[in-house]
Structure 1
Amino acid sequence: MLSRPCVVLIGTCDTKLEELCYLRAEIARNGVDIIFIDVGRNLTQHEAITIGQDRLLQQYGDGIDIGGMPRGDVIKAMAACATKAVKDMHEQECIHAIISAGGSGGTSLAAKVMRNALPIGFPKMIVSTVASGDTGPIVKETDITLMNSIVDVAGLNKIMRRVLGNAGYAIAAMSHAYLAAANDTAQEKTEKKRVGITMFGVTTPAADAIRNYLETNYDIETYIFHATGHGGKAMERLIREGGLDAVIDLTVTEICDHITGGVMSAGPRRLEAAAEAGIPNIISLGATDMTNFGPRSSVPERYSSRKLYEHNSVVTLMRTSKDEAQQIGAFIVDKLSKHTKDANTIQVWLPTGGISLLAVPDGPFADEEADTTLFRSIKDGLVGTGIEVVEDKRAINEESFAHDIAEALVMKMGIPCKIA
């Protein structure tokens, strides 16, 4: 059992040595060990550096020569080497947090290392000049903490010292908390089963009912993922990391955005992780009646004649068509057919009474033809796969429907009710 945490500090020492050394000193004030990794283009010699650029390239890059590479290729090469190094340290359980500071290039490099080497829940922080802009490409589906540097990470001044000091104390505190949790073996013995649930605004009643039902009646804690693109990716990542025991994929609206070019796509690998992991997995069709765009003025011209619904001032929903419904169904069938490890772990529920709050009879997105096409494509497509399809006349947000799919998951998990 370790009594002193260790923080990885990563940065380009050929351009940011002064600032990184100051950050290192601030971290060290808090009873923390530090592994300082240099990922710069040019070799830098300094007593504070634990793993120099030359050692990093030799040990983790087979001695690759980056001297003549373009800047972008250098970043990729150094990120790949640092990822291997940090992953090794994490597997040895000798590090408890990671931090970096830099501009756009250094931020891109450090973020790639953090995303690829470390799991969700491991403390990650970057002090960056780009932290107040579009941070989606930096953070993606992970839990990287970004701190805006205010001024450029280019020399030490009053503001830079204050920002780096705050960051140093923050990452040190995170590392102490992470180590304390790792040492708490009693907590491990009482862990509940972990169930992921996907939710959207138009499926919130169902998600809330499922969460309350599972947590009231079983030793389960639920993880709600907002199906905004990054939410679906985060759930898939957590499954691959072994962070979930089962899933109720209630809301698969991100597939619509992937197919039609909406703003909340989770990419082409949606639905793969749980199927490949072989964990209990109940899939329903929540919010597959819609694609998401920004303000109404942002809807592409090719969709100007479609049925649109202003969810709020910054979100406009577009009703999926019959053809798109066919494509959505085909996507689901393709993913489950190709990636399912054990068909007995999966059920697909079709709530024919309404797949969202808007798609119920007389609702603004009611479209029986499109929904029937969606249901039929899934039923027909999964014939012979061994995956059970449950056709249900209720709407997805009816409480009884939510309770029944929750109970179906519990049956596959094989856990007893905690209420006598």
Structure 2
Amino acid sequence: MRSAYVTGTFDTKGRELNYLRQSLEKLGLRVVTVDLSTSGKPSSASVHPREVARHHPQGEAAVFSNDRGNAMTAMAQAFEAFLLTRRDLGGIISAGGSGGTSLATRGMRALPIGVPKVMVSTMASGDTRPYVGPSDICMMYSVTDVQGIHRISELVLSNAANALAGMIAHPPIASTTASRPALGLTMFGVTTPCVQHVTHRLESEYDCLVFHATGVGGQSMEKLADSGLVAGVIDVSTTEVADEIVGGVLSAGPGRMDVFARHALPYVGSCGALDMVNFGAWNTVPERFKGRNLYRHNPSVTLMRTTAEECRQIGEFIAAKLNAMRGPVRFLIPEQGVSAIDRQGQPFFDAQADKLLFDTIQSQFRAGPQRSLQRLPLHINDEAFADALVAAWREIAQPMAAGRRAG
């Protein structure tokens, strides 16, 4: 029987967490309560904090230290490892403020996509990326602080329990696309024509999953790759690397593309939107960049053209990641521009910066029998470039498909 896991810091939120437990039990679910407290106080939960802490690589002593910050970080790590050992987990719910939410959601993010996850928190209205990341966590704003059972908290917690119960009791309907292998693609607004053409060419053979390359988009695609849920990727829009190198707001972190060094998945990549770094509204652009080539994409987004030196650094980053990949690799360079506003007559056209980007990638790329780089006299949004991406994908995907059939 699949269980609903109720998790949080029972030393400070025990009443609220037990209300969730009671609500779920009334709905007929088996409930496991997991205490993530680091205070050392007695616990009423099914799973004691020390049992969770034993899953830390250094044991429970690493969790129960005199430093609260270190203790919470260690407990979050232990909880992640603990959850991955549970075979009866049907879904999970947490309730708390920033601390408890941070503890619980690290474990949630480690669970596969599709496992029901609900976060009730004061932090659900604001910057939720540190809690949700690339995972499918459902958020419910607690309205009041998670403190006490009253007319508001009863409504919110009851709705949250009903939501989790519904997801556990009614798993997703079998996918109508499951017969086709899943293919991950990255898209940005300025590379949309390219990706749309690629998906049009491949959607009869593949379940095309398009990710918006906004930082968390790249992370989401790579989480699926880590989970074995995609057959490979066509990484058209590696733009998140520019934000990581220069300091924009849409970085996917320094680990972007590392998943392909862990898993030998076929990878086709390109330079989509590496001409730009992203910021918010015009007045949010850091002062040090105010004299740069800036472009108002819309009232909420300001783009900044990457310089030649930044393009060199971006090229070095990408080449190093490509060289570490274990599977077959094809990397295609569109020599006439990498975005809709990077072509002759457009505001981000800079042939010198683009050439340094392309030359750096090419000079540092290690070619091999299953690894090649191709420069094409095309713009990234030309149909011919999209066709070349499709051809590259077929070249490396078909041998793997034949191998699967033979096995």
State whether structure 2 residue 13 is matched by structure 1 residue 16.
Answer: yes
RMSD: 2.2
User: Matches of 2:178 and 2:351 in 1, distance apart?
Assistant: 47
Q: Map of 1:8-157 to 2, 5 A cutoff? A: 8-40=5-37, 41-46=39-44, 49-57=45-53, 62-64=59-61, 69-89=66-86, 92=87, 94-116=88-110, 118-157=111-150
State whether structure 2 residue 355 is matched by structure 1 residue 375.
Answer: no
Structure 1 pair 19–383 and aligned structure 2 pair: CA distance change class (3 A): closer
Structure 1 pair 209–177 and aligned structure 2 pair: CA distance change class (3 A): farther
* 1:169 alignment partner in structure 2: 162
8 A Cα contact 2:11 2:43, kept in partner: no
Paired residues in the alignment total: 397
Amino acid of the residue matched to residue 321 of structure 1?
A: T
State whether structure 2 residue 194 is matched by structure 1 residue 199.
Answer: no
Structure 1 pair 240–18 and aligned structure 2 pair: CA distance change class (3 A): same
Moved more, 275-284 or 195-204: 275-284
Please give the per-residue CA displacement for 1:38-60, whole angstroms capped at 9, x wherever unaligned.
122233343xx321234334576
| Residue 332 (structure 2) aligned to one of 349, 363, 367 | 349
Structure 1 pair 188–8 and aligned structure 2 pair: CA distance change class (3 A): farther
User: Matches of 1:54 and 1:396 in 2, distance apart?
Assistant: 54
* 2:394 alignment partner in structure 1: 410
Please give the per-residue CA displacement for 1:255-296, whole angstroms capped at 9, x wherever unaligned.
111111111111112122124312111101110111111112
Q: Map of 1:335-346 to 2, 5 A cutoff? A: 335-337=321-323, 339-342=324-327, 345-346=328-329
* 1:264 alignment partner in structure 2: 250
| Residue 271 (structure 2) aligned to one of 285, 290, 308 | 285
Amino acid of the residue matched to residue 186 of structure 2?
A: T
8 A Cα contact 2:55 2:79, kept in partner: no
User: Matches of 1:347 and 1:194 in 2, distance apart?
Assistant: 19
Report % sequence identity. Answer: 38
Secondary structure in structure 2 of the residue aligned to 1:213? helix
Secondary structure in structure 1 of the residue aligned to 2:344? coil
Return the offset for 1:243.
1.7
| Residue 158 (structure 1) aligned to one of 143, 151, 158 | 151
Secondary structure in structure 2 of the residue aligned to 1:390? strand
Return the offset for 1:121.
2.5
Amino acid of the residue matched to residue 370 of structure 1?
A: A
User: Matches of 2:380 and 2:199 in 1, distance apart?
Assistant: 14
Return the offset for 1:254.
0.8
User: Any gaps of 5 or more consecutive residues in structure 2?
Assistant: 403-407
- Normalised by the length of structure 2, the TM-score is 0.91
User: Matches of 2:178 and 2:230 in 1, distance apart?
Assistant: 16
Amino acid of the residue matched to residue 168 of structure 1?
A: A
Please give the per-residue CA displacement for 1:172-197, whole angstroms capped at 9, x wherever unaligned.
1112233x66xx6xx69953211100
Return the offset for 1:357.
0.5
User: Any gaps of 5 or more consecutive residues in structure 1?
Assistant: none
Q: Map of 1:188-267 to 2, 5 A cutoff? A: 190-216=178-204, 218=205, 220-267=206-253
